[in-house]
């Protein structure tokens, strides 16, 4: 009787240890949210060669300061828009000339953002093989879907 229980316990312990061990071993991949972590993930997912990775990393690093500056301007525009909205709800009035200038500036910045991002994506995709490019663009498309329909 005892021997049977011991063998069963050993089986359960073996299964649990192999389960946890495999999870720990395989989960020690890339993590983090900075550019290096993202590029490491792209390299791993798309199986980029060292040359492709170096080129894509350089492309991203070149455009990163400009994209950050654009992100700051977008955030500032968002604050300005909120200020307009507050003024409209509190006083019931709005300076249409100022608002028209804001809209114009916003369109310009939006266009610049679109162009910068598109250039980055196109330049990165240009370094890749057709198969990698297809996978890369499909990942971007999937990430744009709402979280609930991600899978």
Partner 1 sequence: MSSEPDPLDPLLQRWSQARPQMPAPEVLATEVWRRIADAEAAGGEPTLWGRLDAVFSRPSFAAVFIAACTLFGLFLAEVRLSRVQAQRNVQLAQAYIRLIDPLLEQPNPGSPATHNSPAAPANPASP
CA distances for 101 relative to 52, 71, 84, angstroms: 43, 19, 12
Cα gap 139→137, rounded to integer Å: 5
- Using CB under 8 A as the binding rule, whether residue 101 contacts partner 1 is answered as no
Is the Cβ–Cβ distance between 70 and 112 less than 8 Å?
Answer: yes
22-51: which residues touch partner 1 (CB under 8 A)? 22-23, 26-27, 30, 33, 35, 37-38, 41-42, 45
User: Are the C-beta atoms of 53 and 39 separated by less than 8 Å?
Assistant: yes
Q: Is 89 in the site for partner 1 (CB under 8 A)?
A: no
- Secondary structure element (H or E) that encloses residue 128, with its range: none
Q: Which residues bind partner 1 (CB under 8 A)?
A: 1, 3-4, 7-8, 10-12, 14-20, 22-23, 26-27, 30, 33, 35, 37-38, 41-42, 45, 60, 63-64, 67-68, 70-71, 73-75, 78, 81, 110, 113-118, 120-122, 125-126, 130, 133-134, 137-144, 147, 150-151
């Amino acid at each position: 009787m005892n021997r049977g229980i011991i063998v069963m316990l050993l089986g359960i312990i073996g299964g649990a240890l192999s389960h946890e061990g495999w999870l720990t071993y395989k989960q020690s991949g890339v993590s983090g949210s900075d550019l290096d972590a993202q590029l490491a993930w792209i390299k791993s997912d798309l199986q980029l060669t060292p040359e492709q990775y170096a080129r894509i990393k350089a492309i991203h690093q070149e455009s990163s300061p400009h994209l950050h500056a654009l992100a700051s301007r977008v955030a500032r525009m968002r604050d300005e828009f909120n200020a307009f909205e507050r003024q409209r709800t509190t006083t019931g009035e709005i300076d249409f000339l100022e608002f028209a200038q804001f809209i114009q500036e916003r369109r310009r910045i939006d266009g610049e953002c679109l162009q910068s991002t598109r250039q980055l994506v196109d330049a990165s995709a240009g370094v890749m093989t057709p198969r990698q490019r297809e996978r890369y663009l499909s990942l971007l498309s999937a990430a744009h879907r709402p979280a609930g329909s991600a899978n």
